[in-house]
Structure 1
Amino acid sequence: MRIIHLFADLCNLYGDYGNVCALKRALENKGQNVEIEYQSIDDEIDISGADFVFIGSATERNQKVALNYLQGYKDNIKTALDNGTVILATGNSFEIFGQSVTDCDGTKHEGLSFFPYETVEGKERIVTDSLCTTLLCGGDIIGFVNKASLTTGATSPLFDVKQGSGNGKDDNKEGVHYGNFYGTHLIGPVLIRNPQLCEYFADMLIKKQ
């Protein structure tokens, strides 16, 4: 099983690398051999053939650095997604896969444009615990949100919000799920705080082999 951790040095807030550790352990407990590969700035980004790709939360500045760097590898990423590679993006990293991210100064940064949503950053941060539900696995999903952005146009959300913050203002939908792409603002790390979600990804990846 091949896992690629993108920008582990750049998109590394809130201990989100723990998601990779949790998934690796879950897969190994199911008898899988797991190889973790790291790709970042100055590397040739190539996720073709990977089973799972993770990218974590970043500062607003580093998010734009990652976005600009990935623009040169859009075709590789899109082809990998279409061919079955699963991507999990947590925190504000999932925003870069949408149409655009407008920063708090009003500058619009073109996204990778894989999916229809748009994000606008503001001056105030949204900091809250969240309680969600999902059809992916049993039980409630818990996590923490710390963001300065609102996302609209997410036509296929990942979670339903029971308490806390959704994608947009007064929105009870959180994250995105389009095919093999999963994105959520929930941090914690989300796969450690929600073992049933970690098991979902592990079982799904094994079935895809």
Structure 2
Amino acid sequence: MSHVITMKTVTLSRTLAYVQGGKVGAQQEWVLDNMRERARADQLGLDEEGIDWGLTIPEALEHLIAGRADTVGPYVGNAYYTALLAIIACTGSDALDVGVYSKPSTFFGLMDDELRGLGVPADLLPHDFLYAGLPEGIPFHIPSPMDGYPAIGYLPLAKAKTAADAYTAVLDRMDDAFTYDAKLLIELLQVEHEEWQSALKHGHTMDTILFWIGG
């Protein structure tokens, strides 16, 4: 099975504002409508495949918006995480696909081992931020998906250039099995850093790169 890794930049507090259970303004209501439309489309895909998670994605989305994720069941985490992706998809910058991997956790775990052995600091290793889990700031527990996917990770934009520079410094010593993907990450992180610096000059407040890995 293939897993697509996607990324986008957000102002984390604005994204998480949709899971605080409070009142929202007119602009946020318009964004919520887009989230609900995406959740319905995702649910339609499940219905066509005859998949039942014990909680629909639109229902899970309404729970998150209300500030809770308290339905119990073996697969409700899949619904909650997919609903959370609807929230992420409708906030921040345009999404960008990083790549497609058959076993991303295994591959990036091995890349972590390679980079760690070359002296890259632990907080810059790609598996760690790709699979970091939910960002801090969600005030309630969200059950994890049964099979681990979709997975969510994040990296502060302030670390993007530091990570890119760390990979660049060891690139000529890396095993060839990882150089292509390391170069891809370097390019993506450098671009995100440059766009972040430009955005700051214009008063924008994006501060986090969010990653998600589809099931």
Same topology, TM > 0.5 = no
Of structures 1 and 2, the larger Rg is shown by: 2
Q: Which has the higher contact order (CA 8 A, sep 6+)?
A: 2
- From the two aligned structures, give the one with the greater helix fraction: 2
Q: Which has the higher strand share?
A: 1
TM-score (structure 1 length as normaliser): 0.28
Q: TM-score, normalised by structure 2?
A: 0.28
